[in-house]
Amino acid sequence: MTNYKNFKIETGADGIAVVTWNMPDKSMNVLTVEVMTELDQIIDQVVADAAIKGAVITSGKDTFSGGADLTMMQEMLARFKKEQKQDADKAVQNLFDNVGRMTGLYRKLETCGKPWVSAINGTCMGGALELSLACHGRVVSDAEGVKLALPEVKVGLFPGAGGTQRVPRLVNQQDALQMMTTGSSLTAARAKGMGLVHEVAPAKKLVEAAKKMIRNGLKPVQPWDEKGFKLPGGAIYSAAGANLWPAATAILRRETSGNYPAALTILKCVYEGLLVPFDTGLKIEQRYFTHILQTTEAQSMIRSLFVSLQELNKGARRPADIKPTKFKKIGVIGAGFMGAGIAYVTAKAGIPVVLIDRSLEAAEKGKAHSADLIAKEMQKGRMTAEDKDKLLALITPSADYAALDGADLVIEAVFEDRGVKQAATEQAEAVLGQNAIFASNTSTLPITGLAKVSQRPKNFIGLHFFSPVDKMMLVEVIMGKKTGEKALATALDYVRAIKKTPIVVNDTRGFYVNRCVLRYMSEAYNMLVEGVPPAMIENAAKMAGMPVGPLALNDETAIDLSQKILKATLADLGDKAVDPRHVELVNTLVDKYDRLGRKNGKGFYDYPARPAKKHLWPELSTLYPQQDADKVDVEVLKERFLVTIALEAARVMEEGIVTDPREADVGSILAFGFAPYTGGTLSYIDGMGAKAFVKLAKKLQKDYGAQFKAPKLLTDMAESGETFYQRFNPYKAADKAA
């Protein structure tokens, strides 16, 4: 046996070396510079030892690997930016060489002259799947939860270690393009059906099945290195190619609106790479990857959707000196849609939960929501009957607040009314222990005000979930003026336990996310009043990178709720806080036409019975004189949506509501899908530079109104040339320590 830090090698009497990848102090194997160095040495060792006939690479963990550690990419880019100041050409050459290191290593493996088989258990993603594709054989476990994917496009990159060249030489080009441009996961059976892997084997016999491939005479030569190799599904210049490629580019354009350079680059790599020999194809891929790494989109997406997301999930904002909470019992008050959803995700995390409502019948109805969600998961093969019994056993419905006794945390999710929330708080606190934390799931009411009825305001905090709770990955953790560190730590521990991402927000009307969302919908109201055709409003928003148009989103949240918010804002802040044209529009829809949104089947859209699809309400375009669609600048509409949201995020930072740019960025993407290619609201501003952003905002302010007035923070940053990540450096303490 030979031991490396991250691998161990055991060679049996059959002459087959089993290379087990098992990184110490890591829950999952990842590709790092150190791992690549060791793998390089292992290939040499296998080749040099005449007693070794072939090698099987597998994982010592319950999953194969999550792929490359993207912090490695960040370090590479930081080095590149430093070198660029001294010698731009040399910096690009060094980046190109660094990018090619993994590519060269995998090519060395597949041409080493001895057969390699990858025995894949659990998740195998990104660079780890590319490593497996470089092996001459691939065997995948039949265990549940096995996922194979090349998800790099989701962080602004593409498979750059041979993926764009190997996949379309193993499977037909259409499947290859779909897999790489969407980043979607494949099951073991699907991967086998496509021809991406050779065998699916029982989990316990995985390594044995891989060894058997070598014993049966697996050739140590890849198909593309054989003479006379033909592409599966036909060449680029063939009838199949003529059908595929024009459609592929059109579909990509439709799905991405040209916002994701990496997705288009996948098409370029495959198209160009399949016209030339394999090694030339690898060079083409390497060249494109070097270019993509330098794009603002890739750098912003890597930072927000990988690095920052991981840091927040691991508790970057958690007070370090407070002992972690191990939850023995959680209470949820209110068994409506939100409360029932919170109970479900809590039980799914293995935590016992008491679900309280005014009657036992109502509480049991809330528990039934969990049963419905599990039934859907079972239909998709993601849960079993045993999982169902286990999860439902953890939810105890009750009408008696005494059942909350012993809860570490109670989450109130009752109706959005101060009186109802006050009653729930008082009844819960009457039975809770002194150290228990009480959280309110409110979307509009400030936490400081709600905490006034609490006997223990330091233990009172906000936990703002998004609907539907089981699907939405973000939770806003709202700090009232008197909320203590223990309450914050407990809330963050809970969000982590239910596998969601927390952002910490100081108290304000609408918190962070809803303030941004209201700006998005408000700008759509402005456009409607101006006579911009409704379809253009929706399409421009989606072309700007938003997942849902603002009118469709308003239908989901309910137009009568918008009416209530406008009325409450008028009552609390006066006439100047609300645009009277918006009040008139919403009142017309709600009071005159009874159009409340999706909930009553009519809002900005009509919702006919299935299978018919929703469509914009035809009368909407008659409410205001319409502009000529040909004279409306779609680029300006796109800018208006992104700029109005980003300006609100900047105001939130200026007011100290959000203090960490990572949270503003990650929160905006996870909560309402703010154009992910930008890296989030603040990265959108940083990406173009504060000076250029303020100039754009001033032009929009002149043409479309005061909502585009840049706050002083931004004008100061424009003058100083600062970015949000410099001014609000989330790593300041760590930098000083270093």
Q: Catalytic amino acids?
A: 464
Task: Supply the angle between the helices 126-134 and 88-110 in degrees, to the nearest 10.
Answer: 50
Tokens linked to 696: 């754009």
Token pair 């959005």: residue:
416
Q: Where are the alpha helices (DSSP H) in 595-655?
A: 634-654
Residue partners of 735: CB distance under 8 A and separation at least 6: 729
How many helical (H) and strand (E) elements, i.e. helices and strands, does the chain have? 31, 19
Q: Are 479 and 502 in contact (CB under 8 A)?
A: no
DSSP state of 602: B
Alpha carbon distance 417, 147 (integer Å): 45
Rg of the chain over all Cα atoms, to the nearest angstrom: 28
Count of C-beta atoms within a 10 Å radius of residue 402:
11
Exposure b/e, 240-257, CB count within 10 A at least 16 = b: ebeebbeebeeebeeebb
Token pair 């549940």: residue:
144
Count of C-beta atoms within a 10 Å radius of residue 138:
24
Tokens linked to 309: 């997301």
Please name which of 701, 709, 649 lies closest in space to residue 675, comparing C-alpha atoms. 649
Report the Cα 347 to chain-centroid distance in Å: 23
Alpha carbon distance 76, 95 (integer Å): 7
Give how far Cα 474 sits from Cα of 492, 672, 673, 700, Å.
12, 10, 11, 31
Alpha carbon distance 371, 389 (integer Å): 9
Tokens linked to 734: 């760590």
Alpha carbon distance 458, 481 (integer Å): 9
Q: What single letter denotes the amino acid at residue 667?
A: G
Alpha carbon distance 343, 600 (integer Å): 27
DSSP state of 220: S
In three-state secondary structure terms, 407 is coil
Count of C-beta atoms within a 10 Å radius of residue 577:
11
Count of C-beta atoms within a 10 Å radius of residue 582:
18
Alpha carbon distance 508, 478 (integer Å): 9
Per-residue DSSP letters for 614-641?
Answer: PEE-GGGGGSSPPPPGGGS-HHHHHHHH
Give how far Cα 313 sits from Cα of 156, 473, 648, 692, Å.
20, 11, 25, 33
Q: How many CA atoms lie within 13 A of 375 on its CB side?
A: 6
